[in-house]
Structure 1
Amino acid sequence: MNSLLLHCRPGFENELCAEISEHAARQQVGGYAKAKPNSAYVEFICGEAAEAERLINELRFSQLIFARQWAQGQFIELPEKDRISVLLAQLQELPVFGSLWLEVLDTNEGKELSNFCKKFEVPLRTALRKAGKLVEDDSKPRLLLTFKSGREVFVGKAAPRNSAQWPMGIPRLKFPREAPSRSTLKLEEAWHTFIPRAQWDERLSDEMTGVDLGAAPGGWTYQLVKRGMLVTAIDNGPMAQSLMDTGLVQHLMVDGFTFKPKQPVDWMVCDIVEKPARSAALLATWIGEGLCREAVVNLKLPMKQRYAEVQRLLTRLEEDFAARKIKVSIACKQLYHDREEVTCHLRRLSK
């Protein structure tokens, strides 16, 4: 159990290697990261199991930008038959688990394993319960089995409150037919990722106002309107008529980077295709000058040094807010519905 397995978007293995290596160095945990291109996972190997456990316990999963899921454990080989007996033997020395997730990697090979996992889960769950290794208890660690094939699996454990909310870190969101574009799912996933569900009625209420920069045709505006907010949509392009018919949207055909509201709003959201430094500067202005209370903005990533660029921009935001003497919570994640981008959520906590 001396390794961490971290899922990611295919093509972002190098970014995740750099990220977990930096966090391990900061925690003074010895080890090294390895990955293959487009494999959709990174393995961070420590010298001892205790070091891997310290890293996953002391580091918050929410701090990781490019990781979708993680677990502490190790890869094992499985026979073609009687895989359950081998798994039970492997789990003999491990604690009782409170839940079980069977996962695959976000690759074509992984998708082909999905049916196998569905068939295998029921008999495995029954055997684990019978052996006293699985009970329904959210306070206990989760057993995460990531199958690379029917013959190789990563046997891992993770704390339910310090790992992904969904298997493989992939939310099962349904595209609303009335939404103008599929980009609406990015903002919906951001709500789930950054705002505790119990706080939605307070922080996403129908008494609030919002601004959508680069709004057309209205994928993100749709999410604000769905929550009953009054929205100012900023874009030179046309908005979906269905949104305009709600009476909740004012459409202004002006530049999203120069527009400022006459009165502060509760939310600013932005999915403009622009250099990430310019989008980050926009965030600094809106939050720093108190133009909005919370914001969700996508940062489009360069082709190289993507993790380094994100870290540079986040540091710049922190320094900007410190200079203004305001307290702001900053979170950043590459969401499942993101592509060559990351999503940032900022919330102003004090004046």
Structure 2
Amino acid sequence: MQELLLHCRPGFEGEAAAELQELAAAQGVAGYAVTREGTALVRFVCPEEGEAQLLMRRLDFQSLIFVRQWALGSWLDVPAEDRITPIITACAQGPLASTLWLETADTNDGKAMAALTKKLGRPLESVLLKTRFLRPNKADAPRLHICFESGERIFVGWSWANNAAPWPMGIPRLKVPREAPSRSTLKLEEAWHHFIPRDQWDRRLAPGMQAVDLGAAPGGWTWQMVNRHMKVIAVDNGPMNRALMDSGQVEHVEADGYLFKPRAPVQWMVCDIVDKPARSSALLARWISRGWCREAIVNFKLPMKRRYYEVLQCMEHVQEAMDEAGIRGTIACKQLYSDREEVTCHVRVLQAGSYKVQPDH
């Protein structure tokens, strides 16, 4: 097992490759990326035995920006008349697994193999259970990933639940609520799933919290917070959804989100305004460093080139502002499944700094 298979958004293979290449070099691990534009998959090959597993153990999956999911393993060429036997032989070379995930790339070609993966799923699981390579009761065992590049080309790999995405291919199965004003509502819901452990939702997304939604109209993100029984200041010159306004939980302020200042600190600030990433990161830095919010989720719209390095610059800008204000906190970015030409940034203040809160007056 000398290779990591990385899932990413189609068209962002170069960013995922650059990210792993840089992080591997920082860990002193030699490796190289193999990419094909539009495939939504990246191979990261470590020629030295054991180095791929070492890299996977040393890197924190949550810190990866453009990688949705990963697995440690190798590729197989399999005959169409018997795909299961080679897979079982490959599984004998790896650890026991607790869960079987059949995956494809997140592309039209990948989706076209849904019938094949569905057909193979039950008989493959049955054989894995009989050979005891799959043991559902072994909770601490890794997950087994069988990723189909085609009907004859398969990746067999493993990931560990404490250092990987909790969903096959890194894609959460979320549905747009019928009551939500726009599909963008899923961006915020997915961000919560990624950045906030589920057992902390009742504490960090609690009823009665005060929140600000910058660039709110028509209210997709506001709807998520209202659904958690928060009080929301929705800032946008455009109209808000009438049902949200009738909830009694939303105050609509007609203003430019970049210029708005809160009357008092709030628990949450969220923003999905389409603008240059440097402007959005400056907005985020200002809200955090001035003590206007305790947690924030902001989307950075990416340029056409040097997207990975643009994100790093945005994160550095926010971190510098936090350091200057004496704030201890966490900052993370992820290109979520619901994102397109953007990434989602989350900041949480753990310890306030020496700043004085600057309200609007």
Mapped to 1, the partners of 2:120 and 2:174 lie a distance apart of 25
CA apart distance, 1:100: 0.9
**1:142 Cα deviation after fit:** 1.0
Query: Do residues 234 (structure 1) and 273 (structure 2) align?
Result: no
2 CA distance for matches of 1:184 and 1:38?
26
Percent identical among aligned pairs is 56
Matches within 5 A, 1:99-110: 99-110=99-110
State the Cα deviation string for residues 103-146 of structure 1 (Å, max 9, x = none). Answer: 00011110011121112111001100100101012301111111
Q: Residue deviations 1:288-335, cap 9 Å, x none?
A: 111001000000000100001101111121122112111120011000
Aligned to 2:207: 206
Distance 1:73 1:49, change over 3 A: farther
Q: Is the 8 A contact 1:3 1:49 kept in 2?
A: no
- More displaced 10-residue stretch of structure 1: 83-92 or 211-220: 83-92
Q: Which aligned pairs between 1:1-351 and structure 2 lie closer than 5 A?
A: 1-136=1-136, 137-351=138-352
- The amino acid that maps onto 1:69 is Q
- TM-superposed deviation, 1:92: 1.6
CA contact (8 A) 1:138 1:160 kept: no
> Deviation string for 1:186-214 (max 9, x for gaps)?
00101111001100000001120100000
Q: Following TM superposition, by how much is the alpha carbon of 1:95 offset from its aligned partner in structure 2, in angstroms?
A: 1.8
Give the SS at the match of 2:351: coil
Is the partner of 1:189 in helix, strand or coil? helix
CA RMSD of aligned residues (A): 0.8
What do the CA deviations read for 1:85-112 (whole angstroms, capped 9, x no partner)? 1111112222211111010001111001
Structure 2: gaps spanning 5 or more residues:
353-361
Segments ≥4 residues shifted beyond 3 Å: none
1:193-249 Cα distance to aligned partner (Å, 9 max, x none):
100110000000112010000000000000010000010000000000010000000
**Residue type at the aligned position of 2:308:** Y
CA distance in 2, matches of 1:333, 1:79: 37
Whole-Å separation in 1 of the counterparts to 2:169 and 2:12? 15
SS of residue matched to 1:100: strand
By how many angstroms is 1:268 displaced? 0.3
Match of 2:50, SS state, is helix
The TM-score with structure 1 as length reference comes to 0.99
In 1: Cα distance, 2:120 partner to 2:334 partner: 32
Alignment-mate amino acid for residue 281 of structure 1: A
For 1:185, the aligned partner's letter is L
Residues of 2 paired with 1:215 and 1:59: CA distance? Answer: 36
Equivalent residue pairs, number? 351
2:278/2:314 contact within 8 Å kept: yes
The 2-side partners of 1:330 and 1:291 are apart by: 16
Residue 83 of structure 1, CA deviation: 1.4
